[in-house]
Chains A and B, each alone.
Chain A
Amino acid sequence: PIAPVTMNAFELISTSQGLNLSSLFEK
């Protein structure tokens, strides 16, 4: 896959699984 270059750097970074804390609540 190719990253969408129209997004700014922080928008891209915030898609990281490591920042997705909702997975803490998934049993």
Chain B
Amino acid sequence: MGCFQSTSRKQFPGYEDPVQLSSQTAFSVSEVEALFELFKSISSSVIDDGLINKEELQLALFKNRKKENLFANRIFDLFDVKQKGVIDFGDFVRSLNVFHPNAPQEDKINFSFKLYDMDGTGYIERLEVKQMLIALLCESEMKLANETIEMILDKTFMEADVDQDGKIDKSEWHNFVARNPSLLKIMTLPYLRDITTTFPSFVFNSEVDEVAT
């Protein structure tokens, strides 16, 4: 099946065998191939080089490539596993795997910790959270006085920073998330269960003889 497509995948640096990617993730082979359809569409939206750059991810998230956003930048940096400034197909599948409904909760907690630990010190610091709150207010055009922001931070750190050293470590984050499970909602994408029906064209481009469901 799909022999006429067989050379096109060479245009995708970092392309990995769907069977292998499936064996390392919660995705079936068909789901990995459906994700490739999504990857092709995002990675060709600005520069057709088989890789996703920051502008392309922003465009996919906001339908507007000029809208620079701190959180989209964080997602990009975490998906750019090899820190090459671009996301290849293997990075894309492995990163999305954390968002699969069946992915281990532990992986979701660790990913969310890294998301908020912007400078990678191993702690979520008050200043980082304040920067993110300010970015959110800018993005959503919500208005809050500085003292209100400080009040929210006081309350949050009072609850999360158990040893009150001004920063949240990984174990404090685990406990905080356990008490506030809604914080992990963004870490699960129900869409990933239906990826083969969202991108049915994968069937025509499949390089696998028997498409597993």
What residues make up the interface of A, taking CB atoms closer than 8 Å to B? 1-3, 5, 7-25, 27
The answer to whether A17 and B62 have CB atoms under 8 Å apart is yes
* B129:A24 contact, CB within 8 angstroms: no
Q: In the complex, A20 Cα to B136 Cα: how many Å?
A: 13
**Docked complex Cα distance between A23 and B58 (Å):** 10
Query: Known: A9-B129, A11-B182, A21-B99. Contact between A1 and B69, CB under 8 A?
Result: no
CB–CB A19/B186 < 8 A:
yes
Provide the residues of chain A in CB contact with B139, threshold 8 Å: 16-18
Please judge, given known A-B contacts A11-B182, A14-B185, A16-B139, whether A23 and B156 are in contact too, CB under 8 Å.
no
Q: What is the number of residues of chain B that contact chain A, defined by CB distance less than 8 Å?
A: 48
- Which of A2, A8, A13, A21 sits near B136, CB closer than 8 Å? A13
Chain B residue contacts of A27, Cβ below 8 A = 198
CA distance A16 to B131 in the complex (A): 13
| B152 and A13 contacting across the interface, CB-CB below 8 Å | no
